[in-house]
Structure 1
Amino acid sequence: MATITRYPFAAHLRSTTTMHVHHLAGGRVRHSGPGASFWFRPMSAAISEVPVDDREQSVLVPVRSADLQQLSAAGVVTYRFADPVLAATRVDFAVDVAKGVWLRTPLETVGGMIHGAAAAAVTSTLAGLDLRAALATPPAELATRVTAALAVDERLTAVGVEVVGVRFGLLRPEPDVERALQTPAREVIQQEADRATFERRAVAVEREAAIGQNELASRIDLEARRERLVAQQGANDRREAEEKAAAQAVGVRAEAERTTALAEASAQALRLTGAAEAEAERARLAAYEQASPAVLLALAAREAAGNLPHVDQLVLTPDLLSGVLARLTARAEDGAR
């Protein structure tokens, strides 16, 4: 909006390049143009300020289809004031000379005109279409038709408004009707999802079956290998037992042969020892036969002395000696005879 500076007998206005200022004083045009800056007398001045930049007006048009269904078309109309002087004479764009703001709401007035014209254009475009056909209308096609209708609307051209373009979103029915229309598509999507789920489960079952078959084949192969291993281990154990038995038999035979040889050698040694002892005994007896009684007695005494226990002292009495001597004398006489 314009910036107005007050002084005691005059005021100064400074506007922007997007605002067209139209200044009347005494019924005559004093200043007119965008971005104007001038001095004026507040008591005699009538100033209007019209925007010349592009503006947007939101529209929401309710429409009834041929099958009596309610739907709405939401869009945005872009417009501008192609003839701001004409707009200032047809719409109240008067500015408060003290504050520099509009005294009324001119943009709302123009917006109402645009909304009414857009609603009439949308209604005429969608008239005679049922709900599905109306919803199937492309937003770009609807915008093109509405733009063409607004461009020739006399009420808008009469206030100097030029429609630059129109944009529409998707047409929307009532929430209940929209849910009902979405149900078949949702069912199809759900069926597709269910089919995909079933196919995925079928593939999973097939894979599990293949895995089970592979595991079974692996177990069968493993058991067959284990059977061959057990058979080989049994054969190895039997062979080892046979080898051990044969080795033990060889050992037993060798031990028997060695024991027999040792026994025969021992027997031979015993025979030789016995023969030698017998020969020695015979020689000793032969020597005893040729020896005298005194010698034999001495030998006997020596032999007895060798077998007697240890004697520290020996006491010989006359009685003992007389008896021994008597026996020796008797044996000597018997030998002499």
Structure 2
Amino acid sequence: MAEIRRFLWMRHLRSENSMQALRFRKGRLVASGRGMAFWFYPMSTSVAEVPLDDRELTFLFHGRSSDFQDVAVQGVATWRILDPERAAARLDFSLDLGKGTWLKTPIEQLESVLTGMARQAASRHLAERPVQQLLTEPLDAVQTRIAEGILGAETLTEMGIGVVAVRVSAITPTAELEKALMTPERERIQQTADEATFNRRAMAVEKERAIAENELKNKIELARREAQLIEQKGTNERRRVEEDAAAKAIDVEAKARRTAIEAEAQAGHIRLVEGAKNEAEAQRLDVFRGLPTSVILGMAAQELAGKLNKIEHLNLSPEMFGPLVQRLMQAGADRLEAPK
């Protein structure tokens, strides 16, 4: 607000840069400007101060939807005074020349006018739509409707007021209506949560089943591999036994062949030796074949005597000794008769 100082019977006013001071003398405007400072005589001067900065108006009002449901519209409207002189002509912005404050409440009056216009535009918008649509559609719709309703009013133009922006922050139903409207959504959310829980449980059961099947498959695979290992071990053992048996059979066969070869060689050697002996014996017998019997007997006796170590007794039978004596006598006679 303006700063007013006293100097005897004169006054000095200094306004801020965001305020426009209007100086009237005898009901006529004699000076107007932004951030003015001037001397004046209070007995013949009146001063009005109009704000030039942007102001925000917070509004909250209720309305009925087309289906007769109570809803609240909350938002902010930004406004400013475009024509200070026209605004000062429509609203009382006069200052108390002793304090520098407004004598009336022009800002509250102006905001009341703006709130009424915004409420009227919003009410028309609410009455044309059911509550479900109002709560689900974007806030831009009601925001645009309020802005158009305010900007289109001739009253604000005549007052030199301009609306910079309108922002609607929320459209809310009553607590009972909100609870009723939220019940289906809550049930849907709860159903979705239940389905999610069921799906998680089903997924957990499916995972457990998959794990059990995997473990069973692993056990079956391990059993199969173990059976293959046992079978392979049996095959390897059988092969080893067969190979050992084959090796032993080969060894036995080789030994048998060596034995047969050795026996055959030994038999051949024996045949050769015995054949040589028989041949020598046959030759020796051929030598004795033309000898008289007595000579043969004598040689046999000599051979026998050479092989005997000891002769305990000797039997000479007449049958053997008689012919021998006769031969000896005959041999002696033959020698005597032989010519000298």
Report if TM-score (shorter chain) is over 0.5: yes
- In the other structure, the counterpart of 2:165 is 165
Q: 1:286-321: per-residue Cα shift (whole Å, max 9, x none)? A: xxxxxxxxxxxxxxxxxxxxxxxxxxxxxxxxxxxx
- In the other structure, the counterpart of 1:114 is 114
- In the other structure, the counterpart of 1:214 is 214
1:219 shift after superposition: 4.9
Query: Aligned partners of 2:123, 2:29: CA distance in 1, in Å?
Result: 42
Q: For structure 1, which segment, 202-211 or 110-119, has the greater mean C-alpha deviation from structure 2 after superposition?
A: 202-211
- In the other structure, the counterpart of 1:278 is none
- Unaligned segments of structure 1, at least 5 residues: 233-337
- In the other structure, the counterpart of 1:197 is 197
Letter in 1 for 2:79: Y
Query: Aligned partners of 1:186, 1:138: CA distance in 2, in Å?
Result: 22
Matches within 5 A, 1:1-337: 1-219=1-219
**1:35–1:195 Cα change, 3 Å:** same
Give the secondary-structure state (helix, strand or coil) at the position aligned to 2:170.
Answer: coil
Question: TM-score, length-normalised on structure 1?
Answer: 0.63
Query: Aligned partners of 2:97, 2:209: CA distance in 1, in Å?
Result: 90
1:111 shift after superposition: 0.6
Query: Aligned partners of 1:142, 1:224: CA distance in 2, in Å?
Result: 75
1:122 shift after superposition: 1.0
Query: Aligned partners of 1:193, 1:26: CA distance in 2, in Å?
Result: 77
**1:198–1:3 Cα change, 3 Å:** same
1:217 shift after superposition: 4.3
Query: Aligned partners of 1:40, 1:30: CA distance in 2, in Å?
Result: 11
Query: Aligned partners of 1:66, 1:175: CA distance in 2, in Å?
Result: 19
Asked if the contact 2:150/2:163 (under 8 Å) is kept, the reply is yes
1:222 shift after superposition: 6.1
Q: For structure 1, which segment, 98-107 or 209-218, has the greater mean C-alpha deviation from structure 2 after superposition?
A: 209-218
Query: Aligned partners of 1:228, 1:177: CA distance in 2, in Å?
Result: 75
1:27 shift after superposition: 2.1
Letter in 2 for 1:51: P
Q: 1:167-224: per-residue Cα shift (whole Å, max 9, x none)? A: 1123111111112112222222222222222222111111112222333444566678
- In the other structure, the counterpart of 1:250 is none
Asked if the contact 2:75/2:170 (under 8 Å) is kept, the reply is no
- In the other structure, the counterpart of 1:292 is none
- Unaligned segments of structure 2, at least 5 residues: 234-340
Letter in 2 for 1:129: R
- In the other structure, the counterpart of 1:257 is none
Percent of residue pairs identical = 43
Letter in 2 for 1:119: R
Query: Aligned partners of 2:77, 2:155: CA distance in 1, in Å?
Result: 16
Question: TM-score, length-normalised on structure 2?
Answer: 0.62
Aligned residues between the structures: 236
Backbone CA RMSD of aligned residues: 2.6
Query: Aligned partners of 1:47, 1:136: CA distance in 2, in Å?
Result: 51
Query: Aligned partners of 2:228, 2:154: CA distance in 1, in Å?
Result: 104
Query: Aligned partners of 1:28, 1:177: CA distance in 2, in Å?
Result: 57
